[in-house]
């Protein structure tokens, strides 16, 4: 059979393996362990080298050569047929599934990273309505792209998506690349996203591995321990490739994701309705609640951020950009109210900050406290402490923007900024 590595534009499977595990980080297999790429065995040693021991042709990529332990070639095919049939009958009706347009699939995969489907749906529809093609996205100003992303979080995804769209428009004639190597060269596209788009849009034989798929595979194979540990993640990556149904790689990848999202869920998997339960080693051994092992969470850090809504008599306010240590994490380098992390005396510390960045006279400043708001960013528990300051006129400084408070929604701003603005209405 033709070798998938060659179908993907690589001269040998080793070259493909180097791109997947060697030359690039492995990061987009949704938050894999950071160091995984540095110590990973090349795929050739997991899949292709195994083939060399069992197949006469060194470039053969028949993935049954490294069989999951509970399968024979025949039962593996039955397992694949069963899961594919279940997926085709029961898959959820999601907008990115109605098309094999790589652009639409790519946008969905980027939005879905670390974000729930329900949260993504309205953003996805709005984004595709505004930018129906990769060319329309490439032509758009970054500010418009960020505005449509506002509230979805992880804004580097939007910035990279925009940069990659420009590259596709200028260097790939507006078509998402068909080779893994070219896809991985685009900004913001790691192995997970490349495998998802190439398999779903172009039927490329590449298995995806994200948190959901890892959990399903770990349970199927009764793989214990921390799934994010580099060695275990490599084991799961090899396992994902060996399970892959080469006749329908796109559907296969989506079927595993769907199974993880709807049935083989993290806490209480619904094994009674699972289409592949008869092949599941965790179920057979009574380990479904122990796999995966709970992850050690980073201890939460409490942070207090004081922010000033300056308002002039015309109802206008001033926004700033990149002014402090929290702009990246909390405000994502977008327009925000002047803000600073505070310790004991929020009002006084904020007044000092306003003097430092906007040259506002502390003596004439009256800061009226507004209702506080909670905001979580990964391990950070942030308390937002908004203050209203009425000023006769707004300062004129570089890298600032003056606008009516009612127009805030028209600018790209993080949800923390919107929470601060909402405090005005709650006072
Ligand atoms: S039998 Fe249960 S644990 Fe095993 S794959 Fe199915 S849902 Fe997951």
- What are the pLDDT tens digits along the chain (427 aa)? 444 444 444 444 434 443 343 333 223 333 333 223 332 333 332 222 222 222 223 333 445 445 677 788 899 999 999 999 999 999 999 999 998 999 999 999 999 998 999 999 999 999 999 999 999 999 999 999 999 999 898 899 999 999 999 999 999 999 999 999 999 999 999 999 999 999 999 999 999 999 999 999 999 999 999 999 999 999 999 999 999 999 999 999 999 999 999 999 999 999 999 999 999 999 999 999 999 988 888 889 999 999 999 999 999 999 998 655 455 567 878 899 999 999 999 999 999 999 999 999 988 899 999 999 999 888 889 999 999 999 999 999 888 999 999 999 888 888 899 999 999 987 7
CB 373 within 8 A of CB 419: yes
* Domain architecture of the chain: domains with CATH: 1-296 (1.10.340.30), 304-426 (3.90.79.10)
Q: What angle do CA 213, 161, 333 make, to 5 degrees?
A: 105
Cβ contacts of 92 within 8 Å, gap of 6 or more: 258, 262
**Nearest Cα to Cα of residue 150 among 325, 379, 408:** 408
Question: For residues 217 and 259, what is the distance between their CA atoms, to the nearest angstrom?
Answer: 11
- What DSSP string describes 199-252? HHHH--------HHHHHHHHHHTT--S-TTSHHHHHHHHHHHHHH--TTSHHHH
Nearest alpha carbon, ligand 1 atom 4? 280
Probe target for ligand 1 pocket from 239, 268, 288, 290, with the most ligand atoms within 8 Å of CB: 288
Query: Does 283 contact ligand 1 (Cβ within 6 A)?
Result: yes
Between the CA of 206 and the centroid of ligand 1 the distance, in Å, is 23
For the Cβ of 271 lying below 6 angstroms from any atom of ligand 1, the answer is: yes
135 counts as catalytic: no
Q: Is the CB of 222 under 6 A from ligand 1?
A: no
Q: Is 28 in the pocket of ligand 1 (CB under 6 A)?
A: no
215 pocket-lining for ligand 1 (C-beta < 6 Å):
no
Would you tell me how many other CB atoms lie within 10 Å of the CB of residue 31?
A: 13
* Nearest-atom index, ligand 1, CA of 263: 7
Catalytic residue among 109, 135, 143, 349: 109
Task: Pick from 243, 283, 287, 289 the residue to mutate for probing ligand 1's pocket: most ligand atoms within 8 Å of its CB.
Answer: 283
Instruction: Tell me, in angstroms, the distance from the centre of ligand 1 to residue 288's CA.
Output: 7
Nearest CA-CA partner of 214 in 259, 167, 182: 259
State in Å: Cα 389 to ligand 1 middle.
Answer: 57
pTM: 0.76
Task: Cite the DSSP H helix spans in 263-399.
Answer: 281-284, 346-358
The conformation of residue 39, written as its DSSP 8-state character, comes to: H
Q: Is the CB of 269 under 6 A from ligand 1?
A: yes
Give the whole-angstrom CA distance, residue 421 versus residue 417: 6
- The Å distance, Cα 282 to ligand 1 centre, comes to 7
């Amino acid at each position: 059979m033709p070798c998938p590595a060659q179908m993907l534009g690589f001269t040998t499977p080793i070259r493909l393996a180097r791109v997947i595990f060697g030359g690039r980080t492995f990061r987009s297999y949704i938050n894999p362990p950071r160091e995984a790429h540095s110590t990973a065995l090349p795929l050739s040693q997991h899949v292709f080298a195994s083939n060399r021991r069992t197949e006469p042709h060194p470039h053969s990529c028949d993935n049954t050569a490294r069989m999951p332990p509970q399968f024979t070639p025949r039962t593996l095919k039955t397992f694949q047929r069963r899961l594919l049939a279940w997926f085709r009958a029961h898959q959820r009706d999601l907008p990115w599934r109605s098309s094999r347009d790589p652009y639409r699939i790519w946008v969905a995969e980027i939005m879905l990273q670390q974000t729930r489907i329900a949260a993504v749906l309205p953003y996805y529809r709005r984004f595709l309505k505004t930018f129906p093609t990769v060319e329309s996205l490439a032509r758009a100003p970054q500010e418009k792209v960020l505005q449509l992303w506002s509230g979805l979080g992880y804004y580097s995804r939007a910035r990279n998506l925009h940069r990659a769209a420009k590259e596709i428009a200028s260097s790939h004639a507006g078509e998402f690349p068909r080779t893994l190597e070219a896809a991985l060269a685009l900004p913001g596209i790691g192995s997970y996203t490349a495998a998802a788009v190439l398999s779903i849009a172009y039927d490329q034989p590449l298995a995806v591995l994200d948190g959901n798929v890892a959990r399903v595979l770990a349970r199927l194979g009764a793989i214990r321990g921390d799934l994010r540990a580099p060695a275990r993640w490599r084991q799961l990556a090899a396992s994902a490739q060996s399970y892959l149904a080469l006749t329908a790689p796109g559907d296969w990848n989506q079927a595993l994701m769907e199974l993880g999202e709807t049935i083989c869920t993290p806490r209480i998997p619904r094994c009674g309705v699972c289409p592949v339960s008869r092949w599941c080693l965790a179920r057979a051994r009574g380990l479904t609640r122990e796999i995966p092992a709970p992850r050690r969470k980073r201890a939460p850090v409490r942070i207090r951020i004081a922010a000033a809504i300056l308002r002039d008599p015309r109802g206008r306010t001033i926004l700033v950009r990149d002014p402090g240590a929290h702009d990246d994490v909390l405000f994502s380098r977008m327009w925000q109210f002047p803000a600073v992390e505070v310790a004991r005396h929020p009002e006084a510390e904020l007044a000092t900050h306003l003097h430092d960045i906007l040259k506002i006279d502390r003596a004439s400043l009256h800061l009226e406290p507004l209702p506080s708001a909670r905001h979580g960013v990964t391990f950070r528990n942030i308390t937002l402490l908004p203050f209203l300051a009425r000023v006769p006129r707004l300062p004129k400084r570089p890298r600032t923007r003056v606008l009516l408070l009612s127009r805030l929604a028209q600018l790209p701003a993080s949800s923390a900024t919107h929470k601060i603005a909402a405090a005005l209405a709650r006072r």
